[in-house]
């Protein structure tokens, strides 16, 4: 029997462009439901793809604190999430969920 070597999947290594990062976050927002930690984790993946050290400089938040807050296990304040979103150059927008459910 042939031995198969595997390694853990890391989404961050596959996010290369701004468009891929935005699409990844958009998909995470759709999938998250009521789980804010899911969104924090998705932002953490994007942050690692971009470079956590640069993000730390851009946000003024210590790198270790960013890793913890964006791990999916942390409980970051909205202010931290907002700083990260802004520093990553991501623009969020809102639309009515009622409009979407009426068309389904």
User: Does residue 103 belong to any structural domain of this protein?
Assistant: no
- Residues in Cβ contact with 49 at an 8 Å cutoff, skipping those fewer than 6 apart: 11, 12, 13, 15, 16, 21
Question: Which one-letter DSSP state was computed for residue 2?
Answer: P
User: Does residue 7 belong to any structural domain of this protein?
Assistant: no
Residues 24, 42 contacting (CB under 8 angstroms): yes
Domain count, the chain: 1
Q: Domain range holding 55?
A: 37-91
**pLDDT for residue 65:** 94
**pLDDT for residue 9:** 85
User: Does residue 53 belong to any structural domain of this protein?
Assistant: yes
User: Does residue 27 belong to any structural domain of this protein?
Assistant: no
Question: Count of alpha carbons within 13 Å of 19, Cβ hemisphere only?
Answer: 0
**pLDDT for residue 101:** 59
Distance CA 60, CA 80 (A): 10
**pLDDT for residue 55:** 95
User: Does residue 28 belong to any structural domain of this protein?
Assistant: no
User: Does residue 68 belong to any structural domain of this protein?
Assistant: yes
User: Does residue 5 belong to any structural domain of this protein?
Assistant: no
Question: By three-state DSSP, how is residue 14 classified?
Answer: helix
Pick out the chain residues at pLDDT < 70: 99-104
User: Does residue 14 belong to any structural domain of this protein?
Assistant: no
């Amino acid at each position: 029997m042939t031995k198969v070597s595997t390694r853990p999947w890391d989404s961050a290594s596959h996010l290369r462009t701004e468009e891929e990062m935005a699409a990844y976050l958009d998909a995470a927002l759709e999938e998250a439901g009521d789980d804010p930690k899911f969104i924090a984790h998705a932002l953490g993946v994007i942050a690692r793809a971009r470079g956590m050290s640069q993000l730390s400089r851009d946000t003024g938040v210590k790198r270790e604190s960013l890793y913890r807050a964006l791990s999916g296990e942390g409980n970051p304040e909205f202010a931290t999430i907002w700083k990260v979103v802004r520093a990553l150059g991501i623009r969020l927008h809102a639309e009515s969920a009622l409009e979407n459910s009426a068309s389904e």
